Amino acid sequence: MTHPAEEYDVLVAGGGPGGASVATFVAMQGHRVLLLEKEEFPRYQIGESLLPSTVHGICRLLGVSEEVENAGFVRKRGGTFAWGSGAEPWSFDFALSKKFAGPTSYAYQVERAKFDQLLLDNARRKGVEVRERCAVGEVIEEDDRVRGVRYTDSDGVERTARARYVVDATGNQSKLQRSIGGRRRYSEHFQNIALFGYFEGGRRLPEPNSGNITCVAFPSGWFWYIPLSDTLTSVGAVVRKECADRLRGDRAEALSAMIAECPIVAEYLSDAERVTEGRYGEVRVRKDWSYLHDTFWRPGMVLVGDAVGFIDPLFSSGVHMSTYSALLAARSINTALRGELGERECFAEYEARYRKEYQTFHDFLVTFYDINRDEQQYFEDAKRVTRDTAPAAQAFVGLVGGGASDEAVLTAESYRDKRKEDLHELSRGVHWEGHKIQLQAAFGEAADDVPLSADGLIAGQDGMHWERSGASV
């Protein structure tokens, strides 16, 4: 039996944070969106430590802040590092950065099965047609344009769906990304492998840092230690690829052996038991995650989230990058669907902004992996790569909180207001990236966004579209 093709404005493959966010941002503009997800939610995923930019920026825009607040996730005020040349562990608070100061100075440690379900349910409520257990197989191409996809539905029936745009948000394992052209470029710096499991009864840092992520360097790499509830902890070893042989035998034994080589984590887990049943019962391995696709879009199709790139688990940038890419791509799709600007210009803006954020995290992480330096040097590195005018420690927190892009919608309200004032003040004559300031002056005090280049676009007032900066006229 053949089924007629279904018609949508936008079709999203993959229902993780990237897919659910882009689908919601487009559906909220009144467009018809179909999201196809291979698994049935809730499903397991790694990536549990979030950043304030996601919790207070993206979740607010998605209209899901209250639910996230009430979900019972562990509050993360910052991070604690046993890392670098100093003998003592050191901590940072998100509150230190003006970008997150006040009521937005924390994030959450989340069980991804719950967090991702919450975002997907929200997508449904906001008008996205979500179908689970539907695996997208390939794109439909006509006249050099992607026009839809072929997928297998939950009854095993082959179907087609057509749309003006197809979004590949199928993550790290994406096969669809091959249809975009170009290829994934794997990082020469980050070629790590992760081995991770879950423990009941691990110790907590003293208050107020009990919800912090703890990262501890050890001879083969480093450990993450993420409190997911009062008693459940996610523990992972990220090791250099030269240590891959150590992961070949029994994974649980390999993890125990590595924990024994890391006195701080061994001590935290001295009274804990590894979970051996259910969703968290497996010791898992992940590798080949550090890459960036060299093509972001083609006519009718765009990559979002891990399908386009991921750097490294250190500093927990994955969900931030995925949902930030979803916001940027949604602006491009919404603008192109309205016919206000050409898709080439819209997707070029997405790509330029995403690449800038990716490069900033990437360059900082390259320097941070040198553990022979001290925290002050790391802070200076963050200031250098972000070109932030704030003191070094604040620049560091602004970056690792997800605020390097200076995207107004991802930062605290107080910071946004202050930034507007500063930009206005600076536009009166002081030279500070003078070019941008002139542009800012030209589109007025009310503008929240600054273009990346003279002919770049800016986010419209609703944050969901691109506009010309006006200054380029």
Q: Which residues bind ligand FAD (CB under 6 A)?
A: 13-19, 36-39, 45-50, 135-136, 169-173, 194, 286, 289, 305-306, 310, 313, 316, 318-320, 322
Kindly state the smallest distance separating residue 137's Cβ from ligand FAD, in Å.
Answer: 7
Q: Which is nearer to ligand FAD, 194 or 397 (CB)?
A: 194
Q: Which is nearer to ligand FAD, 400 or 437 (CB)?
A: 400
Q: Between 198 and 310, name the residue whose CB sits nearer to ligand FAD.
A: 310
Q: Which is nearer to ligand FAD, 221 or 300 (CB)?
A: 221
Name the minimum Å distance from CB 196 to ligand FAD.
6
Q: In terms of C-beta distances under 8 Å and separation of at least 24 residues, what long-range contacts does 340-346 make, across chains too?
A: 340/465, 340/467, 341/457, 341/466, 341/468, 343/297, 343/299, 345/457, 345/466, 346/457, 346/466
* CB within 8 Å of 244: residues ≥ 6 apart: 193, 287
Least distance to ligand FAD, CB of residue 24, Å: 12
**Smallest separation, CB 101 to ligand FAD (Å):** 22
Cβ distance to ligand FAD smaller for residue 22 or 447: 22
SS3 110: coil
Q: How far is the CB of 202 from ligand FAD (least distance, A)?
A: 16
CB of 45 to ligand FAD, least distance (A): 5
Q: Which CB, 165 or 289, lies closer to ligand FAD?
A: 289
- Compute the distance between CA of residue 307 and CA of residue 303 in angstroms, rounded to an integer: 6
What is the identity of the amino acid at 365?
A: L
End-to-end CA distance of the chain: 56
For residues 82 and 96, give the distance between their C-alpha atoms in angstroms, rounded to a whole number: 20
The helix/strand/coil state of 95 is helix
- 107 or 459: whose CB is closer to ligand FAD? 107
Among 53, 15, 65, which residue's Cα sits nearest to residue 405? 53
CB of 40 to ligand FAD, least distance (A): 10
Q: How far, in Å, CA of 96 to CA of 93, rounded?
A: 6
In this structure, which amino acid lies at residue 333?
I
Note the helical H segments in 300-391. Answer: 318-338, 343-368, 375-386
